Chains A and B, each alone.
Chain A
Amino acid sequence: MILSDREIRAALARGVIHISPTPPPQAWSSTAVDLRLATEFVMWKKMSGGGAAMTISPSSPEFDFPALSKNFGEQRQIPPEGFVFKPQTFLLGWTIEKLRLPFRSRLAARVEGKSSLARLGVGVHVTAPTIHAGFGDIQANPEYPSNPIQLEIWNIGPLDIVLHAEMPICQLIFEWVDGTPEKGYEGRFSVQGPTPT
């Protein structure tokens, strides 16, 4: 069940959702909250040119994300005049707002695009919108401001789109979780673990 704006506000008041900073009144709609684009973003550098072709195998046990990040992740900032997002390009962005869903909140969320941007060919995730209970949660520190949401932003349209820092970039939709998650409950279930090596 999707939470209405009133239910989201009630959940914020009860502390089962934390959003920091608190979204302003214009960020709300009847069933979602808009989040804004942070200044920093990262683009992957092309691997072609010069040497042998490289491939990435994320499911391989040898996959080394820190090395990939160091060698091919280019950290950039959106300038005051905006960043021209070219067609057929991709970047990793973050929301300004940080989100925390406590383990026992029995709430999950989905980050979704905004139709105004979608109509231009801009998407904000690559089929990975789900935010599980426990996101950004440190139970020992209830005041922890938590983590921003990383966005996988792509432009499949033919137009140059200018992205500005602090522009509304995505919306957050909250849903009730039916039942208590095993993680939050820390209960037992019928599985047998592997033998430690």
Chain B
Amino acid sequence: MSLILCETSPGLRDSEIIATVRDITGRRHYIRVERDFLTQRIGKDYLPIGIVHIDPKTQAVLIEFSHEPDSGYNRIWINQNQLDQPVEAYA
């Protein structure tokens, strides 16, 4: 279980928020969640995600969202520095 840095904007209803996560190419992926689904740390918002794989060569991280974002991609590659804490690469 990890957290990924995200930007936020208002959701479709008051209790909801749109979290925006950028993949490794810079493309934005929007996922709508309840506001309290996000974790706030030092004024920044983080989205819970699952880590699937870490590329040992590039250190890119394949993550999976808790549900399908509006881009349709359940899994995206991200840079490790987007996570709240680094994860160890598999040897």
Contacts and interface: CB of A to CB of B under 8 A. Distances in A.
Scoring A63, A70, A128 by chain B CB atoms within 10 A of each residue's CB, the highest score goes to A63
Nearest to B62: A193
B67 A135 contact: yes
A80 interface: no
Interface string B33-48: 1101101000000001
A75 B13 contact: yes
A186 B50 CA distance: 8
Nearest to B20: A66
B1 A103 contact: yes
Interface stretch (A144-152, A158-166, A172-180): A144-152
Given A193-B62, A196-B58, A69 B10 contact: yes
Contacts of B53: 182, 188-189, 191, 193
B66 A135 contact: yes
Contact of B10 (A63, A70, A92): A70
A58 interface: yes
Interface string A117-148: 00000000000100110111111100010111
Contacts of B25: 61, 194, 197
Interface residues of A, number: 45
Contacts, number: 121
A183 interface: yes
B72 A58 contact: yes
A154 interface: no
A196 B55 CA distance: 11
Contacts of A135: 66-67
Scoring A69, A135, A182 by chain B CB atoms within 10 A of each residue's CB, the highest score goes to A69
Nearest to A69: B12
A138 B64 contact: no
A184 B64 CA distance: 10
A92 B12 contact: yes
Nearest to A92: B12
A148 B34 contact: yes
Given A148-B34, A193-B62, A194-B77, A132 B67 contact: yes
Interface of B: 1, 9-15, 18, 20, 24-28, 30, 32-34, 36-37, 39, 48, 50-55, 57-62, 64, 66-68, 70-72, 74, 77, 79, 90
30 contacts: A42-B12, A58-B70, A58-B71, A61-B28, A65-B18, A65-B70, A66-B20, A66-B30, A128-B68, A132-B66, A135-B67, A136-B66, A136-B67, A138-B1, A138-B48, A147-B37, A150-B32, A183-B50, A186-B50, A186-B52, A188-B54, A189-B53, A192-B55, A192-B57, A193-B55, A193-B62, A194-B25, A194-B77, A196-B59, A196-B60
